[in-house]
Chains A and B, each alone.
Chain A
Amino acid sequence: MFKGKFIDNLPKIYGTYTGGFLVFIILMAIAEQAGMSAKLIGIFFVAFTVLIYALIGYLSRTLQVDAYYVAGRQVPTVFNGMATAADWMSGASFVAMAGGIYFKGYGYMALLVGWTGGYVLVASLLAPYLRKFGCYTVPDFIGTRYGGNAARLCAVLVLTVASFTYVTAQINATGTIASVALDIPFNIAVYVGLASILMCSMLGGMRAVTWTQVAQYIVLIIAYLLPVFWISNKMGAGVFPHFMLADEVARIAELESQFGLGTVKNSAADLATVPKGLAGITKAHSEVNTTPWKFISLAVCMMAGTASLPHVMMRYFTTPSVKSARRSVGWSLFFIFLLYSSAPMLATLSKLSLMDPNLATGIIGKSIADVQALDWYQNWNQANLMFVSDFNGNGTLELNEFFMGGKAVVLATPEIAGLPYVISGLVAAGGMAAAMSTADGLVLAIANALSHDLYYKIIDPKAETAKRLVVARVLLVIIGFAGATIAALEIQGILGSVIWAFDFAMSGLFFPLVLGVWWKRANAQGAVAGMLLGLASGTAYLIWVRNGGAGFWGVTQLTFGIVGSLVSLVSMVVVSLITKAPDAATQRMVDEVRIPSGKTVLGKQH
């Protein structure tokens, strides 16, 4: 069926895969009509897709160093874009983002701007240059550019702190979805999630992760877009929701004032009866509801964080050339844009279908007893994601008496809007794909940094290829288990820890990376100072604010990267200038990085 090289057949292979997945969805829909239970459909969706990823992971196994670390540097531009999009869009983007927009409106959408705008920085400041450098990992660039083990070690430290914060949230998300879909307890589901993640990455490293991520992107984008289009058409809101929901946005504003949003407040005693983690709508949907600085500071942190997170950067090490690395960033953002521009539309549709009394699905203004008798309400109430209570005792449900968990917007909306259960199964598979693909990228980024930079470059530079790859895989399993163990403790929410990861990465790595390319005078002492003081001051600020500190400049625990990165920049520049300029060889190396042609700075195998 497929003649010739694997790479040349990619469009055909993934075309067949997409077709096969669509056929699978149709088969499930037929099975549902024939009476298959909702539970079984959910199990089929998650189990089937995870097995496919594991199969791809197995087929991509490798014994070569450059295939393991950078997928042999032959991932075509567009496919790398897809893989990056899956790598990038985590459980938080897929499951939590539309919910955040639903509850917080405009103020929350700073994340949309931040998580896309960062790619302009990636494309213009870093990706093409790091590709030309020819490194395997981000600390590999820092270590070689600045010279010396100290700089390399600091980069490994920042990378581990940021990525590990992020990965626990992703393993937590895979656990949540696996526990709901497969109907097993969360603390076991976490390890089921972990096992699926390791199956995708252990045997083939970056090569396996690349080809599973492409497959995961296809599943997650279908799972996100199909319900949005379906609900919009079913409600008669518009054939193409993204361009046609202006009336619905205006209608929500109208209903908000009709239902007294912001004027009717719940008492503290009433709120105490609401289960933990659920929230009501307290912010207007489209109105500008936050100060410019709050919006902008959050966007800035997410943008700089995007440009410093190693699991994203290392995806651009896998393209065949500098030119394709640059274009690949554009494709990544395009594929991300498809989902991000749909999230506000999903939030709009979800909110309107619950609020509008003219729609059959609307529940606000109905009698409480009727709402409590609804099937979907009972299901999601049981899953601890929905709650109503008659605070004012008038027997009807008011806007301030309805509470929902953030995840419910994505997970429950298809059911609320009356779509068949097969769509809910599809959404669960999509969420699993999103969380798994990001977790894969992160676990691999940490394990690669430890195995390549710490073990091979610092501890045992004479290690043979086979030994290096064994160490890499053992570390992968250890990191995965550590992440799962912490995830099982459920310390923080998914979204909060994701935002922290960006701030950590930005505090320690943003300026050392950017100045490494754009400022020849930057030297090792400066970089070490920048990384350590940046990370330390950011962390100190976070701890201070978490423990009731007042903070300054309106910087909160979500934007502490601003403090960290400023300290990093100042200390890096000052220390670089008071110590010796880098030697001529390093200066030549920087010159070499700045032009696309010629050999990479580091050899093909190193």
Chain B
Amino acid sequence: MSKQQQHWEKTRGLLFITLAIWFIFSIGIFFFGAEMEASSFRPLGYPLSYYMTCQGSLGIFVILIFWFAGRQEKIDEEFGFTEREDD
């Protein structure tokens, strides 16, 4: 397998992990709105359902994108596909 194919394999792997986390916090947990509301776990005292819609999921997305960007940069570096400054 060529260097480029290996790079794409890894990139795709990272994409699936990222999208899986994204799916859980944007779609998955909201199938359980009523259950979250009844939960005794209350972040900062807010009902869990309320907290996730107005802060929780949003904050996780921000962190997820930066984490994804960091991992992708590592993959690019590993295969020598990092951009040079003068490109």
Contacts and interface: CB of A to CB of B under 8 A. Distances in A.
B81 A124 contact: no
Interface string A329-340: 110011001001
B1 interface: no
Interface of B: 4, 7-8, 11, 14-15, 18-19, 22, 25-27, 30-34, 36-37, 42, 44-47, 49-50, 53-55, 57-59, 61-62, 64-66, 68-69, 72-73, 76, 79-84, 87
A591 B34 CA distance: 46
Contacts of A120: 18-19, 22, 26, 61, 64-65, 68
Contacts of A597: 76, 80-84, 87
Given A330-B62, A597-B83, 16 more contacts: A114-B26, A119-B65, A124-B15, A242-B55, A249-B50, A292-B30, A292-B32, A292-B33, A295-B33, A296-B27, A299-B26, A300-B27, A322-B83, A594-B8, A596-B76, A597-B80
Contacts of A598: 87
A428 to B, nearest CB: 25
B30 A113 contact: yes
A243 B44 contact: yes
B65 A286 contact: no
Given A288-B37, A344-B54, A329 B45 contact: no
Chain A interface, DSSP helix/strand/loop, else mixed:
helix
A341 B46 CA distance: 14
Contacts of B32: 292
B58 A113 contact: yes
A125 interface: yes
Nearest to A287: B37
Contacts of B54: 109, 112, 341, 343-345
From B14, B33, B76, B80, residue with most partner A Cβ within 10 Å: B33
Given A249-B47, A597-B83, A123 B53 contact: no
A595 B82 CA distance: 8
A123 B26 contact: no
B33 A117 contact: no
Contacts of B53: 106, 109-110, 112-113, 344
12 contacts: A110-B30, A112-B53, A113-B26, A120-B65, A121-B22, A299-B26, A322-B83, A323-B82, A329-B65, A341-B58, A597-B81, A597-B87
